[in-house]
Amino acid sequence: MTVDDVLREIKGKVRGVIPPSIDVSDVEFEGALVVIYTKHPDKFAKKEELVKQLAKMLQKRIAIRPDPSVITDTDAAERKIKNIIPKDAEITNIYFLPEVGEVIIEVVKPGVAIGKQGILLNEIRKTINWSPHIIRTPPIQSKTVQEIRGYLRSMSDERKEILRKVGRRLHRGISVGERFVRVTTLGGFREVGRSCSLLNTQDSKVMIDCGVDVSSENGSPYIHLPEVLPIETIDAVVITHAHLDHSGLVPLLYKYGFDGPVYCTPPTRDMMTLLQMDYLKVAAADARKIPYSAENIRDVIKHCITMDYGDTTDITPDVRLTLHNAGHILGSSTAHFHVGEGLYNIAFSGDIKYERTWLFNPAINRFPRLEAIIMESTYGARDDIQPTRREATDRLKDIIQRCLKKKGKILVPVFAVGRSQEVMIVIEDLMRTKQIPKVPVYLDGMIWEATAIHTAYPEYLNNKLRAQIFQQGENPLLSEIFERIDSHEMRQRIINDPDPCIVLATSGMMNGGPVMEYFKEWAQSKKNTITFVGYQAEGTIGRRIQKGWGEIPLNVGGNVVNIKMEMSVETCDGFSGHSDRKQLFNYINNMSPHPERIIFGHGEESKCLDLSSSVHKRFNISTAAPMNLETIRFR
């Protein structure tokens, strides 16, 4: 059956179910959605059960859109919206997307604007015929979120075309013949960095992650394999989370001619854009080879189809995708693939944290069905046991107390995404509950922007934070103790200020970034303390400091300068976004259903191998730790 046959059949079914008194002017595919255009959107809104019945019958998600001929002009529509939505919802912005008949209403309190059981939304729809879409105004302006939303608005015609193309492609019908499920390991196996896999069935080619190993000259995954090429034959790319070792080379796919969709959560889209832009900036500053342009990053944004946790969508004729919380960073997910209407179920864990952290709920390990899972092994070795969150908090408290007693300064090198927000939450809590004295906490580098993105998506934070934010209106990330450093002058002033303070600054392993400016000046005083909260790779300046070198050679303007180390050096483990060995075992042990096979990757070779054999012995499950470039057949 061709896509036109499929569409004709669907149109027939739609017209058969909908009473003649309700107009259906057109039916279209947009991605996995079946979009019904009507001159009577209000009648559809009243008959919710009708849409449900259609969705069930077609096994598709349905969107009802007003026919362009019936929508109210935008000025009048805006006035009516302002009349319907109560003042205390605090509307900050209203804009219209004529090509989809949607109006986006940005408000401070979405709950108030939506009304009980969506009553106000229905009223808006009935009054102006536009479909209202409420989004939250970010409490601190994130430049990234704002620019992405603006860009998508300006692109909405092209975007609609893209979605239609995706829709037609994914409804092309299933081929006859032998059915199979295989995975090719393209990068990030028996190593960390450049994560990339290809899920291949008789009707689908889906790429999962496309990362870059930033520490290596040749840090690209094997995307030139015959299995992958020609690149236009890839149906879809799924990104588990924004870290560059999972998302860094997605723009490169567009440079090479890919023009299909990228599936991820909304925060992953925003955060990976931030990190990819920064990656280009750093590469240019270091005069390294720049793999792609900012235009290619915009291509990714344009092709992103975002999904919330728990949403399920068809991504190819025989593969259905669901994203689940992975507990690792904002928006991080485990990708679950349901292949061939019950033929096989396979998940890619992505990076997972199987413990409730200060920011996120633990990773989801319960699925309706599951035969195989591809899992990370970052801390898979026998001695990879980390302190609990509680122990880490106590340790950080102790370090800060000791340093502040000496009236010193505390410098914390951090990665912008994930760890810095966790450290912020802990420090805010310690200060608010008066367990440590109140001193200013300065944020330097990309941390502020990453934090702003976190505040735009509070529904992705853990239950406790959500309750604190939604019920008490208190977001610890917005506390007044945090101050943003946004200029060279301000940084200089803080460096020379004699008063105690805490500085969180990038980069996390001290291979550059603003953290170096503070370090150069503060290293030579016994009063100050440097505190590591993240992994320091061999060969980095961070690792040398951690090892206790008496002098640290730094490259200052082309000359090597030896910085004498007088400041205290502390390490505070337990802030990791990865599961330790114990948590990985618990994750598997409590997994439901128990998979038949587990494939390990995303870890040093010895860790992948050890974890694979230990899990096999303990659970009697078939396991493997493949190298890159292997293909495994599952069905």
Interface with Zn ion (CB under 5 A): 243, 351
The DSSP string of 60-98 is SEEEEEE-GGGPPPHHHHHHHHHHHS-GGG-EEEEEEEG
Q: Report the residue number, 243 or 419, with the smaller CB distance to Zn ion.
A: 243
Q: Report the residue number, 351 or 384, with the smaller CB distance to Zn ion.
A: 351
Q: Alpha-carbon distance 378 to 578, whole Å?
A: 7
Q: Report the residue number, 243 or 303, with the smaller CB distance to Zn ion.
A: 243
Q: Report the residue number, 185 or 576, with the smaller CB distance to Zn ion.
A: 576
Tell me if 162 sits within 8 A of 155, measured CB to CB. Answer: no
Q: Report the residue number, 442 or 587, with the smaller CB distance to Zn ion.
A: 587
Q: How far is the CB of 446 from Zn ion (least distance, A)?
A: 16
Amino acid at position 606, single letter: S
Q: Report the residue number, 243 or 336, with the smaller CB distance to Zn ion.
A: 243
Q: How far is the CB of 428 from Zn ion (least distance, A)?
A: 24
Q: Report the residue number, 149 or 243, with the smaller CB distance to Zn ion.
A: 243
Place of tokens 């503070």: 518
Q: Report the residue number, 271 or 436, with the smaller CB distance to Zn ion.
A: 271
Q: How far is the CB of 602 from Zn ion (least distance, A)?
A: 9
Q: How far is the CB of 448 from Zn ion (least distance, A)?
A: 21
Q: Report the residue number, 331 or 340, with the smaller CB distance to Zn ion.
A: 331
Q: How far is the CB of 248 from Zn ion (least distance, A)?
A: 11
Q: How far is the CB of 350 from Zn ion (least distance, A)?
A: 7
Residue 86 burial (CB count, 10 A): 13
Kindly report whether the peptide bond that precedes residue 507 is cis, defined as omega within 30 degrees of 0: yes
Q: How far is the CB of 359 from Zn ion (least distance, A)?
A: 14
Tell me if 274 sits within 8 A of 301, measured CB to CB. Answer: no
Q: How far is the CB of 579 from Zn ion (least distance, A)?
A: 12
Q: How far is the CB of 241 from Zn ion (least distance, A)?
A: 6
Phi, psi dihedrals of residue 179, rounded to the nearest 5° = -105, 145
Tell me if 531 sits within 8 A of 399, measured CB to CB. Answer: yes
Q: How far is the CB of 70 from Zn ion (least distance, A)?
A: 47
Kindly report whether the peptide bond that precedes residue 498 is cis, defined as omega within 30 degrees of 0: no
Q: Alpha-carbon distance 176 to 294, whole Å?
A: 41
The DSSP string of 5-62 is HHHHHHHHHHHHHS-TTS---EEEEETTEEEEEES-HHHHHH-HHHHHHHHHHHTSEE
Residue among 123, 120, 125 at smallest CA distance from 107: 120
Q: Report the residue number, 243 or 269, with the smaller CB distance to Zn ion.
A: 243
- What sign does the CA torsion over 410, 415, 419, 422 have? positive
Amino acid at position 417, single letter: V
Q: How far is the CB of 522 from Zn ion (least distance, A)?
A: 30
Q: Alpha-carbon distance 413 to 435, whole Å?
A: 22
Q: How far is the CB of 529 from Zn ion (least distance, A)?
A: 27
Q: How far is the CB of 603 from Zn ion (least distance, A)?
A: 12
Q: Report the residue number, 231 or 423, with the smaller CB distance to Zn ion.
A: 423
Residue 197 burial (CB count, 10 A): 25
Q: Alpha-carbon distance 604 to 436, whole Å?
A: 38
Q: Which residue number is nearest to Zn ion in terms of Cβ?
A: 243
Question: Long-range contacts: 466-474, Cβ < 8 Å, 24+?
Answer: 470/111
Distance of CA 266 to the CA centre of its chain: 7
Q: Report the residue number, 96 or 535, with the smaller CB distance to Zn ion.
A: 535
Q: Report the residue number, 146 or 215, with the smaller CB distance to Zn ion.
A: 215
Phi, psi dihedrals of residue 500, rounded to the nearest 5° = -65, 150
Residue 499 burial (CB count, 10 A): 9
Q: Which helix (H) or strand (E) holds 256?
A: none
Residue among 130, 100, 126 at smallest CA distance from 45: 126
